[in-house]
Amino acid sequence: MAGRQQVDISQLQIPQLNQLTQQLDQEIEFFTSSLNQLKLAQNKFVESQECLNKLNPDNLSKDILVPLTSSMYVPGNLSDVENILVDIGTGYYVEKTVDDGKSYFKRKIEYITKQIEKIQPVLREKYAMKQATVDILQAKVQAQVQAQMSGAAKS
């Protein structure tokens, strides 16, 4: 961390501590949102991978419901249990075998899991920093109130 100075937060004044608390709140919100989005994506890949287990020769020509939207389905017939189309993003689809599809989803799940594992410690650190900042802020506010009270008692 060349060029970065360590700051002892106990030396900061109340307005600076308030500002730091707000900044940490924003960072915590960002990392929490990112973590939630990653978990949603991970769940979708897990669900897609599990769906591939239903594609086997026993299910060929069976009636199925095909999703057109998240709440609208149409009846269909399973005509190919060997190949699938995989949405790889931005409207592009790639034809893969079922085994290649399972491998693709496994890699995606592993990648997202690694990203989640990177974010979780950062989020814990941000929570700890916020708690330390709030503790120091409360102590300084309490000390200021006591100083004002003792000053008022002397008058």
In the chain, where the domains are located? 33-117
**SS3 at position 102:** helix
pLDDT (tens digit per residue) in 11-38: 889 899 999 999 999 999 999 999 999 9
**SS3 at position 89:** strand
What pLDDT was estimated at residue 1? 45
- Count other Cβ atoms within 10 Å, centred on residue 104: 19
- Count other Cβ atoms within 10 Å, centred on residue 14: 13
In angstroms, the CA 31 to CA 34 distance is 5
- In 1-155, alpha helices (H): 14-52, 98-154
What pLDDT was estimated at residue 70? 86
Burial (Cβ within 10 Å: 0-12, 13-18, ≥19) of residue 68: exposed
Predicted model pTM: 0.77
pLDDT (tens digit per residue) in 54-83: 888 888 889 989 889 989 999 999 899 999
Counting other chains too, the contacts that 56-65 makes at CB distance below 8 Å and 24 or more residues apart are: 56/81, 57/81
Q: What is the CATH number of domain 33-117?
A: 1.10.287.370
The candidate with the shortest Cα–Cα distance to 31, out of 153, 102, 125, 101, is: 125
pLDDT (tens digit per residue) in 127-149: 999 999 999 999 999 998 888 88
- Count other Cβ atoms within 10 Å, centred on residue 20: 19
pLDDT (tens digit per residue) in 97-115: 999 999 999 999 999 999 9
- Residue 32, token pair as written in the block: 């929490």
